[in-house]
Amino acid sequence: MEWSARRAETWALGAGGVVLALVAVLLDPAGRVLVGGAALLLMALATRDLVLRPRLTAGPAGVAVRTLTGTVALPWTGLRIRLRETRRLGVRSRLLELDAAPDGDDDGVLLLLGRRDLGTDPEDVARALLAWSPR
């Protein structure tokens, strides 16, 4: 099973970045800096989404999460899967929390993934991972 950012959102970010870059050429120097910076940010997010596909993978051995520094493999043993829900300024957000207990000389690992990272509701992913887990 795999989860990653939605392709349509990724392509929309990339297209928005290109459009902003083209518009930045027509602006005054201050506008170029602001709109150009926004264009770079959108294109960087789109590139991140493409590089980190698939973001989360579940298999018989455990869960693997792709990050910018590499893939983090979390075996089912010692892995806690929780849904973290917060409410701030009237906006509710959900995060999938993957907490791996330390193994002897290893430090523990805590990964938080949101709807944008997973391409779907974190609650659905948590439910699927708990059903897949051998426990």
Residue 102's pLDDT is 66
Residue 46's pLDDT is 96
Q: Name the residue among 16, 8, 66 with its Cα closest to residue 41.
A: 16
* CB neighbour list of residue 68: distance below 8 Å, 6 or more residues apart: 48, 51, 52
Read off the pLDDT of residues 33-92 as tens digits, 9 standing for 90 and up: 999 999 999 999 999 999 999 999 998 988 999 999 999 998 888 889 999 998 999 999
Residue for token pair 């518009």: 23
How many angstroms separate the Cα of 20 from the Cα of each of 16, 68, 89? Answer: 6, 25, 30
Question: Can you tell me the mean pLDDT for 8-17?
Answer: 96
d(CA 44, CA 47): 5
Residue 61's pLDDT is 87
109: left (phi over 0), alpha (psi -120 to 50) or beta: beta
* pTM, 2 dp: 0.81
